[in-house]
Amino acid sequence: MARTCLNSAQREGALAQLQKEKVDLLVVGGGVTGAGIALDAATRGLRVGIVEAQDWAGGTSQWSSKLVHGGLRYLYQFNFALVAEALKERGLLLTRTAPHLVKAQPFLWPLKMPVVERSYSAVGVGMYDMLAQFGGGGHNAVPRQKHYTKEGAKELFPGIRDDALIGAIRFYDARVDDARLVIDLVRTAVGYGALAVSRAQVTGYLKDGSRVVGAHIKDLETGRELQVQADYVINATGVWTERTQDLATADGGLRVLASKGIHIVVPKDRIQGQAGIFLRTEKSVLFIIPWERYWVIGTTDTEWTQDLAHPVTTAADIDYVLEHANSVLANPLTREDIIGTYAGLRPLLQPKTKGEDSSAKVSREHTVAEVTPGLAAIAGGKLTTYRVMAQDAVDFALTQRGGPRALEEHPCITETVPLVGGAGYAAWQTQKERVAADEGWSPQRVQHLLDRYGDELPVIIDLIAENPDLGAPLAAEPAYLRAEVAFAITHEGALHVDDILRKRVRLDYEHRDRGRSALPEIVDIAAPLLGWDETQREAEIRSYSDRVAAEAAAEQTSTDEQAVRARLGVPDLVPMA
């Protein structure tokens, strides 16, 4: 287990190695795409470095709809290949690579017109099921579609408005904790030898003539600067793609637009239903997604031209989501029901390279291109297909370095590589009752831990055995154990309170006060593990509280410009260069 730990000691060791050792591949960007690339390359036997300017999953990958899905709406655009590819990846995640993190999720598609709508919707969902069945990757992972009368649908989802449907179709996709998926990808890559460093920003590239041969990197935690030598570099920085590639050259490269999507979170008892809801809107789709203690509802799709590091939710965004959700909910939601919101940016790939005019449609499909010799960029795609994107990026890099023969010598094997926690998940499921009895926990507690840590559950138990205080639940949110805060630091790379509460113990959007009531207890657990003195403890609490207050102020504004102004009034604890 120690080989897959992300922590401050591992980070220092990786920085030291990167300074003295040339790597085969340097990955810039620690979201789901970059993390997937690092794992793909490491499991092919390459020496890999991966650096991220923020915490892992610091950008798009922490604020998605938290779905692993084929993209049902893409069927209506006749993009069958994209849907089939995504459904295969959904099956792999559900059954083979991350069964502890990815869970089958039923959705109800309300129908409002008899016969015609049911017929074409049934054909669409039927094709969805067929593509999953014949696409491989665990096609039996989810049940097939089922049709309901109005009365049957209301039994499954009592909270739906009587006039919102005349019947419904139930279909399945899957949900995932997006940030935890990224963290586990990085951890798995580290287990196969990758050198991983968060809060390490690329500030320029090393060149031999016109060829990129590495990068200048600034350690944002200490201010140290270093140079990393690499045979090849891949830019996987999402909405930052153009900024990162422009450090090497202003000629050519990928064009990426940023689109903002926001979600609201409401308590579980506020909506009565045993499935999610899938709605087609005038702009895109809206999901009402059940989680254990709350519902996530979204998303929007609006152009973003503001600060890339701080997308924020506005009052107009919230009103849009409430309006569309209330169009089908029997008991309308109000602002007072909302316990959390979050905003993220999607990287939308422009189909032409920089400098070329194009009126073509913006697409979420991905592209890999060489920006300049020695440096490639990958952009587009979506969370579900990260593994395919990673394979394409590493194939491209290998081909550029060694031609087709390099692919034969280093084939992709990630279809069969489980992430940390995944390999023994099914076996530990059979041990729930025993573990509950041994540890004095409820079966629900054990399931919660298994669905977060999989077969690493014994590590949590060992942490508690070494320090029994960690066995107590957090006072502010008893769903989480104190040991989970410790694990976030010792194994999952958390360096600050923000890292813990936004991406590991995610009270930032799960709790009405965004986790502020838990701050003293979390700091008490973190301080000895991270070596914080009283000054640092106070700085962590102040920074988190100020950021939460700024985002709450942003939610009262009506435009992106006003919202960003409110958010930027509070500086980041560890700002990017």
- Residues 300-333 have pLDDT tens digits of 999 999 999 999 999 999 999 999 999 999 999 9
pLDDT at residue 129, rounded to an integer: 80
Query: Would you say residue 359 has pLDDT above 50?
Result: no
Q: What is the pLDDT of residues 124-158, one digit of tens each?
A: 777 778 777 766 555 567 888 899 999 999 999 99
Say if residues 174 and 93 touch (Cβ distance below 8 Å). Answer: yes
The pTM of this model reads 0.96
Copy the structure tokens of residue 367: 């592209």
Mean pLDDT calculated for residue range 393-400: 96
Name the CATH superfamily for 65-177+257-347: D-Amino Acid Oxidase, subunit A, domain 2 (3.30.9.10)
Copy the structure tokens of residue 558: 């009506």
SS3 annotation, 67-121? EECCCHHHHCCCCHHHHHHHHHHHHHHHHHHCCCCEEEEEEEEEECCCCHHHHHH
pLDDT at residue 372, rounded to an integer: 96
Q: How far is CA 353 from CA 242, 243, 244, 330, 379, in A?
A: 11, 14, 15, 48, 12
CA angle 457, 385, 241 (to 5 degrees): 105
Say if residues 458 and 425 touch (Cβ distance below 8 Å). Answer: no
pLDDT at residue 191, rounded to an integer: 98
Q: If you search the block for the tokens 């940030």, which residue do you land on?
A: 179
Query: Where exactly are the structural domains of the chain?
Result: 2-61+180-254+358-416, 65-177+257-347, 467-567
Q: CA 347, CA 177: separation in Å to the nearest integer?
A: 19
Q: Is there a common fold for 2-61+180-254+358-416 and 65-177+257-347?
A: no
Q: CA 519, CA 525: separation in Å to the nearest integer?
A: 10
Q: CA 431, CA 446: separation in Å to the nearest integer?
A: 9
Q: What is the pLDDT of residues 62-97, one digit of tens each?
A: 999 999 998 887 776 777 888 889 999 999 999 999
Say if residues 231 and 23 touch (Cβ distance below 8 Å). Answer: yes
- Concatenated DSSP letters for 485-529? HHHHHHTB---SHHHHHHHTS-HHHHSTTTTGGGHHHHHHHHHHH
Helix 432-439 vs helix 457-466: crossing angle, to nearest 10: 10
pLDDT at residue 358, rounded to an integer: 38
Pairwise pLDDT comparison (357 vs 426), residue with the higher score: 426
408 alpha carbon, distance to own chain's centre: 31
Q: CA 368, CA 393: separation in Å to the nearest integer?
A: 6
Copy the structure tokens of residue 275: 């499935």
Tell me the pLDDT of the chain averaged across its residues.
93
Q: CA 217, CA 76: separation in Å to the nearest integer?
A: 44
Q: CA 305, CA 190: separation in Å to the nearest integer?
A: 35
Q: CA 326, CA 2: separation in Å to the nearest integer?
A: 48
**Ramachandran region, residue 251 (left: φ > 0; alpha: ψ -120 to 50; beta: rest):** beta
pLDDT at residue 2, rounded to an integer: 67
Query: Would you say residue 220 has pLDDT above 90?
Result: yes
Residue 375: other Cβ atoms inside 10 A: 28
pLDDT at residue 126, rounded to an integer: 74
Say if residues 550 and 567 touch (Cβ distance below 8 Å). Answer: yes
DSSP annotation of 380: -
Query: Would you say residue 355 has pLDDT above 70?
Result: no
pLDDT at residue 166, rounded to an integer: 93
Q: Are strands 67-68 and 285-290 parallel, antiparallel or unpaired?
A: unpaired
Q: What is the pLDDT of residues 459-481, one digit of tens each?
A: 999 999 999 999 999 999 999 99
Q: Which one-letter amino acid corresponds to residue 577?
A: A
Say if residues 288 and 271 touch (Cβ distance below 8 Å). Answer: yes
Query: Would you say residue 47 has pLDDT above 70?
Result: yes
Mean pLDDT calculated for residue range 425-450: 97
Choose among 68, 551, 548, 512: nearest CA to 289: 68
Query: Would you say residue 523 has pLDDT above 70?
Result: yes
Partners of residue 346 on adjacent β-strands: 259
CATH architecture of 2-61+180-254+358-416: 3-Layer(bba) Sandwich (3.50)
Helix 457-466 vs helix 482-490: crossing angle, to nearest 10: 110
Say if residues 258 and 251 touch (Cβ distance below 8 Å). Answer: no
Query: Would you say residue 524 has pLDDT above 70?
Result: yes
**Ramachandran region, residue 546 (left: φ > 0; alpha: ψ -120 to 50; beta: rest):** alpha
Q: How far is CA 225 from CA 15, 49, 231, 495, 577, in A?
A: 10, 16, 20, 19, 11
Partners of residue 147 on adjacent β-strands: 169
Query: Would you say residue 27 has pLDDT above 50?
Result: yes
Mean pLDDT calculated for residue range 341-365: 67
Q: CA 229, CA 19: separation in Å to the nearest integer?
A: 8
Copy the structure tokens of residue 200: 């390490």
Q: Which residues contact 448 (CB under 8 A, 6 or more apart)?
A: 292, 479
Query: Would you say residue 357 has pLDDT above 50?
Result: no
Mean pLDDT calculated for residue range 447-458: 98
pLDDT at residue 350, rounded to an integer: 82
Q: Which one-letter amino acid corresponds to residue 23?
A: V
Residue 313, helix vs strand vs coil:
coil
Q: CA 331, CA 161: separation in Å to the nearest integer?
A: 8
Query: Would you say residue 361 has pLDDT above 90?
Result: no
Query: Would you say residue 200 has pLDDT above 60?
Result: yes
